[in-house]
Chains A and B, each alone.
Chain A
Amino acid sequence: DAGVIQSPRHEVTEMGQEVTLRCKPISGHDYLFWYRQTMMRGLELLIYFNNNVPIDDSGMPEDRFSAKMPNASFSTLKIQPSEPRDSAVYFCASTPSSGRAYEQYFGPGTRLTVT
C-alpha cells in the first residue's frame, strides 16, 4: 500500500491567500485525522472524521479553518484567509475501525509557510 498521501509537501503563500491541503487515506481506513505541529504548541488534533462524517472539530482554531471529506479516499483542509501564525506542518493520519484500531498511520505532512 502507498500509505497516507498528502499534497503538496511544501506550500508557501502570502497572508490573506486561500490554502488547500489534501489527503488521501489508506484504502479501507474509515477514520481520518488532521493534525497541526508547531514548535510552540506541539502536535494538535484539529478534526477527525469517521466514514466521511466529521466527529470532533473542537481543535479547529477558528472559522478560517474548514475541513471536508467528500468521499472515503479524499479529504481537504482549507485555510481562508491564511495568516503567518498558521505556518506549521500539517499531518493527515488514518486508521481502521477494527483490527489494528488506534494505530494511526501518518502521512509525510505538508509544511505551510505564510509570509
Chain B
Amino acid sequence: AQSVTQLDSQVPVFEEAPVELRCNYSSSVSVYLFWYVQYPNQGLQLLLKYLSGSTLVKGINGFEAEFNKSQTSFHLRKPSVHISDTAEYFCAVSSGGYNKLIFGAGTRLAVHP
C-alpha cells in the first residue's frame, strides 16, 4: 500500500529565508509525486508534479522539488520565501495508471516578517 509522510507539521521561517518541507513516501510500484498548496479558506492547487524524467522539478511561485528514489523522498524547497507563501502544503503520491492520490497530513508553513 502507498503512504505519504510529511515529517514536519509546522515550519516557521522568516521572510527571505530558504525553506525545505520534507516528504517521504512508500510504494511498491513506480510513483507519481505531487505538491499541493492550500491558502486559508481555499481549495488545494497544484504546485508541481513529478511523473518522469528529470528528478528536479520546478513549479509555480519559485518552488522546486527533488525526487530521490533511493531515499523515497520528494522534498519541497524555495530559496527565499515571502509572507504570501504562508499556507498549508500537501505532498501526494499516485501509482502509475491510477488517478487516485494519497495525501500526506500537511505541513503548515508560517512566514514571519
Contact = CB atoms under 8 A, between A and B. Distances in A.
Interface residues of B, number: 21
A14 interface: no
A107 B94 CA distance: 20
A56 interface: yes
A108 interface: yes
B34 A102 contact: yes
Nearest to A107: B43
Given A42-B105, A42-B106, A43-B90, A48 B99 contact: yes
Nearest to A101: B99
A48 B100 contact: yes
A107 B43 CA distance: 6
Contacts of A103: 34, 46, 49
A102 B94 contact: yes
Interface of A: 4, 31, 33, 42-43, 45, 48, 50, 56, 91, 93, 95, 97, 101-104, 106-109
Given A43-B90, A48-B99, A95-B99, 18 more contacts: A4-B43, A42-B103, A43-B103, A43-B106, A45-B101, A91-B43, A91-B44, A97-B99, A101-B99, A102-B49, A102-B99, A103-B34, A104-B44, A104-B46, A106-B36, A106-B43, A107-B43, A108-B42
10 contacts: A33-B100, A42-B104, A50-B99, A93-B43, A102-B51, A103-B46, A103-B49, A104-B44, A104-B101, A106-B36
